[in-house]
Amino acid sequence: MSSEIPPDEDPAMSPDDAFNIVGDDTRIQILQTLGEADEPLTYSELLNRIEYDSTNFHYHLKKLDGHFIHETDDGYTLRQAGGRVVKAILSGAVTEYPAIDRTPVETPCYLCEGDMEMGYRHEVVGLFCADCGGTRAETSETTRSDTRRDTSGCGGLDCYARASSR
């Protein structure tokens, strides 16, 4: 079994197709189980670890095979795309709402020069003044669909903090 993609096949997959494939509990369990394994898992080992009805287990493996997993002589392993799905799940990037409690920052309040705190919740970064109650909030840049940005400059609250501390 070769791991190379034949030259006449396009290795790209549309987002719709990718989410349709991994949008199944059994397939997510397969990916997570392979992600936890230190070595390739045979069909039987994978089936036993997941404890799934064997009648259509092969169907789920075939849906993942090629783009998300790879079958070798030793068993099944994750491909890079499958590993990325597992990492996203384990990191909480797609299952949790990350939050950072307010923490003091060196930048003084833009209204009263008081002490400021910064926090992050629901994809919004906020600056809060402990003295006058002034606030400033901006949507996180990571939610933008245009992920190409000039990293030489600064954006949002970072620019504000730099400009106001001069």
**For the chain, which residues score pLDDT lower than 50?**
1-2, 143-156, 158-166
CA angle 90, 27, 70 (to 5 degrees): 90
3-state SS, residue 98: coil
What's the pLDDT at 10? 52
Per-residue model confidence (pLDDT) at position 55 = 84
Neighbours of 99 (CB within 10 A): 9
Tokens of 80: 């890079």
Percent of the chain residues past pLDDT 90, beyond the cut: 45
pLDDT of residue 149: 39
> How far is the C-alpha of 41 from the C-alpha of 52, rounded, in Å?
15
Domains and CATH numbers, the chain: 15-91 (1.10.10), 99-164 (2.20.25.190)
57 vs 25: CA distance, rounded Å: 12
Question: What is the pLDDT, as a whole number, of residue 163?
Answer: 42
The pLDDT of residue 107:
85
Helix 57-64 to helix 43-50 angle (10° resolution) is 110
The pLDDT assigned to 140 comes to 58
